[in-house]
A and B are shown apart, each in its own frame.
Chain A
């Protein structure tokens, strides 16, 4: 049995979580202030999907990983400088907005078209990976739509574990309510897996691998077609930062017993 996979990881880029975000309303709808200047990272849950994809490919000879990203080309290039050092993959780049205020249906259309055009992609061995939600729009719907467009009807979201069984079936753990996992068994690829954190730590930077990856990444960035996401029928009535500042009462130099009593009273309160 040929237990090798063609793994396509869909991953956007998002502002580094430590950055302060501020919304602005532009001509084409809401955006982030100085969006192009904010340092960006690969969308965290999608990054986990990439690490899991690389791990799976390593364990199954003949497998291959593609990373498909719809993001502003210049920013994507910056992000790739680090990501290229984490795992071996071939980049498929689309040049377009990566912000949260785009519509998942349009993004899915562009991603599916790009995946369909990947030369040599064997759709019968396809595992479509990505983060189960982005850190931008956080809708959790894009991958499902891409999957549907590609005719993949076995889909899993909030995945923390994928195990390939000796018979080629896939044992998958998905997050469900109450801190539990649902265990499913899928006959095999093709399947969609929207990853949560998974179980792998972020791989260390491997400069050698980075240089190797960059040889195909740079031409892919140059080839990147530009994609417009007009979302004409979607209208934002209001976009704002929440008023999150609280008046913090700082309690110090008080005996632990006193603090404990106050906390216990508060909990009971």
Chain B
């Protein structure tokens, strides 16, 4: 029998978000497949009761938590201490957690403290012949693997977007508080706040239906022998706004900024998709003016339907990387698409 702990952090109002609810589903399913194991939810946050109430019907045997204003912020020292305390309180052999930026920062260190082993970016879980198997990617989504471990404790951080979020009814639940005093060494860091990278509006939208990716071609000389960076910026932003898409970029395009070339001012390295960028999850993706080279396309692993617009019929997308390649001028296509989208708005 495994002693299973699901670690979650709460947000500002003490509730939990989508990645956390996905981890609830994963844990429920795993415990069910294991048969006979019990699981506990461990909560960390400024306030934690709202989360416990949210999860009252999730099937966990109980709730434990570390609560206090010093645990409200996403900070390594306090989060690692809290997670460690909860794991020890439960004597957990198997620890699951959402792979949020907050827990991803803390869990490696927690594994070290507990003498545990850890696997992150887990995208699938199952029980086979009594053993837990975890699926994850290697070499930046280029090789898929399934692994199992005999070692306990074993920490598994789950990639957001890999499991359906649990959405059972709330109820009443009581939480056993685990007392934890932080020493001064755990309070050398203050969290000052959050900052959007986009100067104007938010263009990275993880929940969007569509990922729109802009490549370096937008800033290159066009058939008329000139560049049209201003129009490119306008077309891209308007299209992203009208379709409520999330904006991505190729590495070449964001790197141009560092080299002092004409660039699209709203793009940063956080928009970069690929080997050294993000691997976002969206049902659909549209690549424009990017060539579709392997280091870029590995970032498209979790994009469902893929289409691309490129002047070059021999670009990378044509070689089985996209479902549809439109050999066309992206400027012309976007101009026309905006007319269609605008026309519809006025209807």
Q: Which A residues are closer than 8 A to B by beta carbons?
A: 14-15, 17-18, 20-21, 23, 30, 32, 44-45, 100-101, 103-105, 108, 135-145, 147-149, 153-158, 160, 171, 173-188, 196-197, 199-201, 233-242, 244-254, 256-257, 259-264, 266-267
Bitwise, B128-151 to A at CB < 8 A (1) or not (0) is: 100001000111101111111111
Residues of B in contact (CB 8 Å), total 103
Whether the pair B195, A180 counts as a contact (CB closer than 8 A) is yes
Q: Tell me which residues across on chain B come within 8 A of A44, comparing CB atoms.
A: 275-276
User: Is B169 in the interface zone, CB < 8 Å from A?
Assistant: no
Please, which residues of chain B bring their CB within 8 A of the CB of A157?
Answer: 101, 104-105
Which of B2-10, B55-63, B184-192, B225-233 faces chain A?
B184-192
Could you say which residues of chain B place their CB within 8 Å of the CB of A187? 188-189
Known: A45-B276, A140-B104, A158-B101. A145 touches B189 (CB 8 A): no
A-B contact pairs, 16 of them (CB 8 A): A17-B140, A17-B275, A103-B117, A136-B139, A140-B120, A143-B108, A144-B106, A154-B76, A197-B277, A237-B133, A242-B142, A248-B318, A248-B325, A250-B313, A260-B340, A261-B340
Query: Are B324 and A251 interface neighbours, CB within 8 A?
Result: yes
- Is B306's CB within 8 Å of the partner chain A? yes
Q: Chain B contact residues: over half helix, strand or loop, or mixed?
A: mixed
Residues B146-186 near A (CB distance < 8 A): 146-151, 185-186
Bound-state Cα–Cα, A30 to B148, Å: 13
Chain B contacts for A180, CB-based, 8 A:
194-197
B323 within 8 A of A: yes
> What chain A residues lie within 8 Å of B102 (beta carbons)?
176
Q: Which of B138, B145, B317, B318 has the most CB of A within 10 A?
A: B138
- Does B28 interact with chain A (Cβ within 8 Å)? no
CA gap between A171 and B272 in the complex, in Å: 24
Chain B neighbourhood of A240, CB < 8 A: 143-145
Contact partners of A233 in chain B: CB under 8 A: 117, 149-151
B74 at the interface (CB under 8 A from A): yes
B109 with A145: CB separation less than 8 A: yes
Residues of B at the A interface (CB closer than 8 Å) are: 74-77, 80, 100-102, 104-109, 111-113, 117-121, 128, 133, 137-140, 142-151, 185-186, 188-198, 202-206, 209-210, 243, 255, 258-259, 269-272, 275-277, 284, 286, 293-295, 298, 301, 305-307, 309, 313, 317-329, 332-337, 339-341
Contact B317 A248 (CB under 8 A): yes
Residues of A within 8 A of B197 (CB): 179-181
B256 to chain A, nearest CB (A): 10
Q: Is A137 within 8 A of B101, CB to CB?
A: no
Q: A141-B118, A236-B146, A260-B335 are in contact. List 7 more A-B contacts (CB 8 A).
A: A45-B276, A173-B195, A182-B195, A238-B146, A239-B138, A246-B321, A246-B322
